[in-house]
Chain A
Amino acid sequence: GAGVSQSPRYKVAKRGQDVALRCDPISGHVSLFWYQQALGQGPEFLTYFQNEAQLDKSGLPSDRFFAERPEGSVSTLKIQRTQQEDSAVYLCASSPRQETQYFGPGTRLLVL
């Protein structure tokens, strides 16, 4: 079956620009996670949704980061006024409950 998909796969933004990253989870998966992965590091937790409810956003690094999942399926991670330190791979993962996570290919964001 179809896995987790993310778009765009690559995004180049000028500093100060807003970006929106999309995640399509596996159909029927209740849980959705966003991670940020800097070069040479492991994924760092950003936020978690259970259906449409954002139950944990403790990993969002600043108020410039915002995530939503309004209908409990597709999710969007928005970064306002991007800065160079936001350059990273943004990973989305979904899970039928809260155990094994199925990862998407990631969106590689480069802020110039």
Chain B
Amino acid sequence: AQSVSQHNHHVILSEAASLELGCNYSYGGTVNLFWYVQYPGQHLQLLLKYFSGDPLVKGIKGFEAEFIKSKFSFNLRKPSVQWSDTAEYFCAVNALTGGFKTIFGAGTRLFVKA
């Protein structure tokens, strides 16, 4: 069965620090990959996605993610975080031959200290 693993459940950083959130998935076929973010009191929203092409994907608010097929990973990065990046981040995978099911990781809560 497909699964998504997010390495850190809680991350605390100071402003201007660099961020990398790990995401690994278990599925051998072709996948679509997503990072969603949920800011305090708001809905889940898309941060970035990878379907095909350049494995380095750029999203909103300076976030980027790199798809490394050989490692089954899709890590999220940001060179310099801001207080407003405090949120919960979810990695998600949709297997193209797995029907319509999207599998989410358990999430990483990021707190950025001002």
Contact = CB atoms under 8 A, between A and B. Distances in A.
Interface string A64-86: 00000000000000000000000
Contacts, number: 56
Interface string B34-72: 101000000111100101000000000000000000000
B100 A40 contact: no
A17 interface: no
A55 B100 contact: yes
A42 B109 CA distance: 11
A99 B49 CA distance: 9
B100 A103 contact: no
Interface residues of B, number: 22
A33 B107 contact: no
A98 B96 CA distance: 10
A14 to B, nearest CB: 28
A98 B100 contact: yes
A3 interface: yes
Contacts of A96: none
Contact of B106 (A31, A42, A105): A42
Interface of A: 3-4, 31, 33, 35, 40-45, 48, 50, 55-56, 58-59, 91, 93, 98-106
